[in-house]
Amino acid sequence: MEKQDLIHLLYISYYWPPSGGPGVQRGLKFVKYFPEAGIAPAVLTVDPAQASYQLKDESLKLEVPENLTVYRTGTSEPFEYYKKLSGKKEIPYSGFANQQKADSFLDKVFKFVRGNLFIPDARVGWNKHALQKAEELLQGNKYKAIITSSPPHSTQLLGLKLRKKFPVKWIADLRDPWTDIHYYDQLYHTALAKTIDKRYELQVLEQADAIVVTSEDTKRLFLNKPAGIDPDKIHVIPNGYDEEDFIYPSAPPKDTFLITYTGTITENYNIDVFLKVMAHLLSVHNEINYKLRFVGQVSEGVRQRIEKAGLLGISEFIPYVPHDEAIRYLMESTALLLAIADVPSLYSNVPGKLFEYLAANKPIICLGPVHSDTDRIIDECGAGRLFHYTAHDLMLDHMNQMSGAWKANPNLDLPYINHNRYSRKALTAELAGIVKDLVKKG
């Protein structure tokens, strides 16, 4: 495709390398493969020297395309004050995964301030800086479309303002639910704050030219809002995997049945049945060397549950690692553990790591809601099995079968499974098609 035929698009996201996490990878892969699909992207993001990142992954900077134009702006945020007043070195993770104990009085004060003075979130202070730069970039009508990626959902307010002022098509990429997110009630919103936040949410859903979400159930959540929202403008484009990330060969240990979990896990991730099953397996399969490996943020409550189950001795805890290293841990595993947070919006939660689990071709042991999107994807790909949080006997039978198979052959890698449609390249082509259709309609 000739360069002059490409559609110029401005991708607006707070999170960008060196920030780490699934949201960063989603945007990074989109802009990586956009040119192949007829889109010429540029990125508007925050200056990392002023940003408030929960995680950093310097390795992701190596994946930014060399010819990509990235505009960075200043920001005005409260997190440095939070760290000084609280005495904590880290800012809160999503869902407060790094808060190891029950809220102190000061924690409750901080959450109340966050929920009522910073709407929709504490990064709304970036907006005035980003808006000024975005307006400058859109003046010449070079960009025919913008994508606003969230969370933080305050980024979507930029889309509201820019869509009214400039003749661009606006796609709102909402990676998570907004007012239905599982930790929403932990922020002690007043009735007024909730009203304002819900109004913002509805304005975005109504006024964006297209909405992109990561699961069918998130789409259902948004369609159940009071406003009349056209269902045809909400598109499901899940997270995915990049074939180019899987540079490591499969190398499951020959002498250890190694089950790996990657990412954040908190008390909301109900893995009690799995822990009980593992404790039973230890007592009946003395000849098998079982090992659990958790790579990423593990809350103190989960560690206590592991200890209570008598599994601390076979468990390894590895702090957050760069993305490429996390892939290596997957490839060096026998099987992979996945858990869906047991919260009211659990059906809409399709973890980004699911797709990299699929690409690893390892059997997946998942705890979550039956008949959910995650259950459907695992089943259609023949990639393992999802169990309800209470399905002890079913999981025990399954794990006994896996253990028997492991004794015969310690390599339980799956044959080729049907996961091509979840490649980052294929998913980017879907998003590019949405952009092209909008621009074509004018």
CA 296-68-157 angle, to 5 degrees, is 70
Helix, strand, or coil (residue 56): strand
Written as six digits, the tokens of 357 are 């689990």
pLDDT at 103: 66
pLDDT at 73: 97
Q: Which residues of the chain have pLDDT under 70?
A: 1-4, 78-103, 105, 227, 344-348
Give me the residues paired with residue 9 across strands.
Answer: 41, 145
Q: Using the structure block, give the residue that is written with the tokens 């009071």.
A: 226
pLDDT at 229: 86
Q: What are the chain's domains? A: 3-239+423-441 (3.40.50.2000), 243-420 (3.40.50.2000)
pLDDT at 181: 86
Give DSSP secondary structure letters for 309-322: TT-GGGEEEE----
Give DSSP secondary structure letters for 157-219: HHHHHHHHHSS-EEEEEESS-STT-TTGGGG---HHHHHHHHHHHHHHHHHSSEEEESSHHHH
pLDDT at 335: 98
7-13 and 145-150 as β-strands: parallel, antiparallel, unpaired? parallel
pLDDT at 4: 56
- Ranges of beta strands (E only) in 30-150 are 39-46, 69-73, 145-150
Task: Give the whole-angstrom CA distance, residue 238 versus residue 213.
Answer: 7
pLDDT at 1: 47
Q: What is the pLDDT of residues 157-213, one digit of tens each?
A: 999 999 999 999 999 999 999 998 878 888 889 999 999 999 999 999 999 999 999
Task: Give the whole-angstrom CA distance, residue 322 versus residue 65.
Answer: 18
pTM of the predicted model over 0.85: yes
How confident is the prediction for the chain on average, in pLDDT?
A: 90
The region, left, alpha or beta by phi > 0 then psi within -120 to 50, assigned to residue 54 is alpha
Q: What is the pLDDT of residues 224-279, one digit of tens each?
A: 887 678 899 999 999 999 999 999 999 999 999 999 999 989 888 999 999 999 99
